[in-house]
Amino acid sequence: MDFNLLKKYPELLGLAYLTVYQRNNSLKNIFKRDIEDNIGLDFRGKHVRPIKEEGQASMDTLFHHLTTCKDLDEKGKETGSRSFEMARSQRLHWIKYHIDENKNENMDIFSYQDRIKGKDIVRTYIYDRDQQYVIILEPQRSGMDYYLLTAYYLNESYGKKQIENKRKKKLPNVY
């Protein structure tokens, strides 16, 4: 039995002593339960889905973004690859909990206009201040649904400051 399926917020998933194969299976089971097979994953009445690649929703890409982080070279530049990240992965089961808005205290939910590849894009942030955890959603152009972009633990030195700056400059409404 996969005991990680029994874990609840704010517990962390037990991954450290699993083999890579066992770890990936455990994470995939949680991902399937909470996101991939969850037809009722909605945030404020809008369905949450993975971003599309070449016109198709890519669950593999989303899973990859939720369990890995960008690799950096010795100068801090992105290498174009991603590697497993324990901090993100241990919190994978927190995504559904926060999207369902089961926690009300010390939470900030706000929209912010990010500058991405030369374009202004509105993104919605679900920020758990107690646990220093962020989920990023992007409203679809239609305004009917959200794309789940990523979720991560703010374990980098710049992370909390960056989120706090966005929170201070948030848009007046959540989109």
On whether residue 145 sits in a domain, the answer given is yes
pLDDT of residue 152: 95
pLDDT of residue 56: 61
Overall number of domains in the chain: 1
pLDDT digit string (tens) for 65-80?
A: 999 998 989 888 889 8
On whether residue 1 sits in a domain, the answer given is no
On whether residue 174 sits in a domain, the answer given is no
Residues of the chain with pLDDT under 50: none
Contact 174, 109 (CB under 8 A): yes
On whether residue 2 sits in a domain, the answer given is no
pLDDT of residue 138: 95
On whether residue 41 sits in a domain, the answer given is yes
Give me the domain span that covers residue 146.
Answer: 7-168
Neighbours of 71 (CB within 10 A): 12
On whether residue 60 sits in a domain, the answer given is yes
